[in-house]
Chains A and B, each alone.
Chain A
């Protein structure tokens, strides 16, 4: 029975709900908060979620393939910190960049290898490698928590770059989102990710190279993290490695999950990341304007994330038939 004038609630998915909430919040903030609707503030919102959104794109690809990458923030901060440290100690730019890329590739491969070929749950692998990357780079390769960008380096110039008065990272985010959209939607391997995430055993049986693709996803996620790290360093003129211990990682998961990418894999896309990022961006901006202290913001975000996971658990219930023993 569908009464006229009422939307069909059954057809409402999480993405739709979140989008509606985002719109309502936006309207409410625009009316209630002074300065929210100001173009500069709107640009600030988009800018603030750009880095988060880029990280969430990488996370989304991993989650769609029924995995998770908890080492993303560690790779983002530590790779760039090492890069800047190398530059500050006089290594040539090309060589330093090559070192860092090789290191990031190695960690991505390690993550992928342990998940795909050693059958270790992704959560533990990436938790361990994240801890290792932070600890190794912090204790062996850099000397202090924050590493500044050298004067006049291209990373610094990148931070000042504007196009139509909009900071460059917004365009990078938009460009990456478009690329990921094309990849997931129109390439063979992009479609395979959905199959592998929805039912890995069946995907393997029909001949999809499930395990090499798994490795690829973690490598991809690691490189996306480096891009996000470079943009962060560009806008702040330094990189603070303490971000690894902050709640940024959970914000990334929040963006992906709240946008409607099911943690059980096989569902979601770039649009979900955009919707999730929009909601979080508006929320954070509104909280900052209202002047809620950072600690309370964390509390509120955690509450929202908890709500999102509960809703995710209800909308995408775990399939008892295909769930593996020990799938935690």
Chain B
């Protein structure tokens, strides 16, 4: 190995590039920017302002933070529902005035003042909700107008009653407690804000109304089509926002024992900035209460910090303006380009030097030498089928195959002309096997392991295994279950080809060539799924040995076949049986003569082998070239290979014309015929095997003669 190649293999096999892409697929990366902003803000102001973190100073700021974060929570919910509420400042001010009026002028109890406050907020919110939700007016302008309206009303009320409030002698211990005291070290407003945030968070993430809000914000039309009452949901978000703002208003009434012209001024732009800076998306559906709270802390720290640093009038507006513009722009650009960035960095190829192989070219004289026998196969279901990856026959000679439409199709014996949809599962049914009771077990790509009873009842057996501790993407989920086979004791052994890509992206997995394929076992006794082996390059076909004591499985991108021992001294270990084949192996099945059939989905090419030694080149290729110009494994020629228990190659056959069976993904021997399937083919082939046992069936080989 040259020094350059050694460097390449270190660089690409030891540096975990793929983790960057995996981290970016996480929703929590959305929080990274606001969280960093929060840390930077707190650190900056904490170090610039002496005594910023002192208890007394924090006490006062947190009281303000409690009120403010409530308003932001309301704003967050409205924004999650796809709207915006600019009238929060007015609601806040009017609710504050209601409490003050009820308490100081009407001299009612503090609880009545609270009720007045809440009523004000709810009514105001309901007006907004009616206009935006039911009349479908534009949220921004409508709430802007109700904001002006509320503000004008508040200014009138405050100037009219200011003197009366000053002269009032009403006092209350409760009011003083809410306004000035602390409870377990935190002020009442902070406690209330925390409770409100927790309740709102749970409601949004764990309850039906909360999901409706997120659904409406995510896609209004789809939510409507799904039967969600969109208008009522929107209405309720505004009512909730009014409710939140009114509690904030009540708290400030208690804290300041009055209402002034400055109450709630600029609150709407502050709350809006807080929500957006925290990462709540404009247009709805994305965001959380926690994000809103982060934004609230950032905004309040900045504005209060600037005041305490002695910057003059207008600085707040300047900073708010900058923060809002930057945050909105980042939000929009991030949402728009996130998937592009993800596509750019997700594919992280590794270095692999494939071993020297024997030629499969006709006339080369090797055991792998392909001939043209498969081109003579009859066809079944030509033009009716799309993507029969695997084929299987039952005891009554009926033929089954999966299609890319998520169906399992049955062709009736003896002529296989008439067909019906046996079962609809969804996904992409790949590997098939019959268990002892005659249930059809299928590995369904992108879904999991499924069982279809003779009565056509579809049952999910397994969709997940246990998660490994070091995984970043959830590797418990089966992404690409590929083939399965059943041991004499009923346990189902199956492969999951890759943890990194979904089933239809198998080509990307071949380019990346990272070893993430697994062999798993499902135990029908307790319904558990266990991972037996991990770290293969695209595990594919599985087949029980004739004696049931070991199984064979294919490792496609490494062109190997392995043997995994179930019993005996080597139980639980795997050994490589065939290495460095000239083709990429797919499904493996039993043959009547005690050997095994193996399908080749494609052939190795010198160019692709070379590219595997140049991961940097493959990385550039996936980033800079359109997909149809990429270098892929050659899947224009495949074949069927027979091998024996010792790993020796018995024979190989193919379709050199490429007309009938260019890519072969499976084959099944049945009563002297070989049935051939291909995942990109439009037919099933039937090939008469010369010299094969005309009575041998797979079902009898596994489960004994017909009962």
Contact = CB atoms under 8 A, between A and B. Distances in A.
B162 to A, nearest CB: 13
Contacts of B159: 295
B414 interface: no
B325 A132 contact: yes
Interface string B304-328: 0000000111111111111011001
Contacts of A124: 276, 282, 324-325, 328
A295 B150 CA distance: 11
Contacts of A114: 325, 329
Contact of B282 (A121, A132, A137, A298): A121
Contacts of B332: 118-120
Given A114-B329, A132-B325, A328-B140, A310 B156 contact: no
Q: How large is the interface on B (under 10, 10 to 19, 20 to 34, 35 or more residues)?
A: 35 or more
Interface residues of A, number: 47
Contact of A310 (B131, B220, B318): B131
A299 B311 contact: no
B156 A127 contact: no
A220 interface: no
B152 A295 contact: yes
B135 A131 contact: no
B153 interface: yes
A139 B83 contact: no
Interface string A130-147: 111111111110000100
A302 B314 contact: no
Interface string A315-328: 00110100001111
B324 A313 contact: no
A13 B276 CA distance: 39
A146 to B, nearest CB: 13
Contacts of A119: 332-333, 336
B328 A128 contact: yes
A265 to B, nearest CB: 12
A136 B315 CA distance: 7
A309 B314 contact: no
A284 interface: no
A250 B140 CA distance: 13
A138 B314 contact: yes
B611 interface: no
A309 B137 contact: yes
A135 B148 contact: no
B221 interface: yes
B146 interface: yes
Contacts of A62: none
B137 A299 contact: no
A222 interface: no
A130 B140 CA distance: 16
A295 to B, nearest CB: 5
A250 B313 contact: no
In the A-B complex, the 7 residue pairs with the closest CB atoms = A326-B283, A135-B318, A132-B321, A138-B314, A135-B317, A131-B321, A128-B325
Given A136-B318, A299-B149, A328-B282, 5 more contacts: A125-B328, A135-B319, A139-B311, A299-B153, A325-B82
19 contacts: A119-B332, A120-B328, A121-B328, A123-B140, A124-B325, A131-B318, A132-B322, A134-B317, A135-B318, A135-B320, A250-B145, A306-B149, A309-B142, A317-B136, A318-B138, A325-B284, A326-B281, A326-B283, A326-B284
